[in-house]
Amino acid sequence: MSRRPLIAGNWKMNGLRADAKALASEIANLKKSDTADNCDLLVCPPFTVMETVGTAIEGSGVFLGAQTCHTAESGAHTGDISPVMLKDAGCTHVILGHSERRTDHGESDADVQAQSIAAHTNDLIAVICVGETESERESGNALQVVREQIIGSVPAGASAQNTVIAYEPVWAIGTGKVATPDDVQTMHADIRNTLKDKLGEDAANGMRILYGGSMKPANAKELLALADVDGGLIGGASLKSEDFWAIAQSCPSN
Ligand code: PGA
């Protein structure tokens, strides 16, 4: 089954308005001048620059996403942002369960599942993140840990249309260490099998599974060529338009 690659930029807590506008405009212009059109592009800026970025990418075909959302649609939740607000701000996607959210904010698989349901209810595509720690990998438990995260975080109503999975080994995020292509392919195939058991063949075969963790122009081509890798979730390298673009250009052509 052919799955259109998705290259997603996770800007994390980076970007003041002027920088965000410049970066988003550069990405939008590159996308507009693209003749290959071999992947979807998504940028996920912080909430404070959502509108700035949304305006800069308007009409370019680049998608807009957020980095988390609350489960409720509105109400007494100081400091939180609801999926309805994200939709209203022009978002089509939302990253959920990133390891930094799981660590910094204690988000559990059950929380991520509830957020994903809220995202789906509001017509947002959930980009659900999973990944093992270094000690879990070293003790030989990586596959089992990620299986449990998939089972616990992905809701029963997930489909290839409303959900993307991002496999991000925690030890590879922002460290410059990258999982070997063999380990990445083994993990992605295992995730797809777990999705088959949970959601059925069609959803599992159609669902995009991204790799994230120190993906850069220099390693992107090899990773993106793997059979079960359908794109990337990019942190550091998404903050430079030329690097983000070089990664997008590394997707296999259709
Ligand atoms: P990195 O971050 O590319 O800087 O490793 C990836 C992520 O955390 O999504």
Domain assignment present for residue 230? The answer is yes
Domain assignment present for residue 177? The answer is yes
Domain assignment present for residue 254? The answer is no
* E strand or H helix at 30: helix 17-32
CATH number of the domain enclosing 38: 3.20.20.70
Which residues form the pocket of ligand 1, taking CB atoms under 6 Å from any ligand atom? 10, 168, 173-174, 212-215, 233-237
Q: Which domain holds residue 75?
A: 6-249
pLDDT of residue 2: 85
Three-state SS at 63: strand
pLDDT of residue 1: 62
pLDDT of residue 254: 62
Residue nearest to atom 7 of ligand 1 (CA): 235
Q: Please report the atom of ligand 1 found closest to the CA of residue 95.
A: 9
Domain assignment present for residue 208? The answer is yes
pLDDT of residue 139: 97
Domain assignment present for residue 1? The answer is no
Domain assignment present for residue 67? The answer is yes
Q: Please report the atom of ligand 1 found closest to the CA of residue 234.
A: 3
Q: Under 8 Å CB-to-CB from 196, ≥6 apart: which residues? A: 204, 205
pLDDT of residue 99: 98
Q: Under 8 Å CB-to-CB from 189, ≥6 apart: which residues? A: 227, 228
How many domains does one find in the chain?
1
| Structure-token pair, residue 182 | 């063999």
Return d(Cα 130, Cα 169) in angstroms, integer.
Answer: 8
Domain assignment present for residue 175? The answer is yes
Taking the chain (254 residues) in runs of 10, the rounded mean pLDDT of each run is 93 97 98 91 98 97 98 98 98 98 98 98 98 97 98 98 98 93 98 98 98 97 98 98 97 83
Domain assignment present for residue 96? The answer is yes
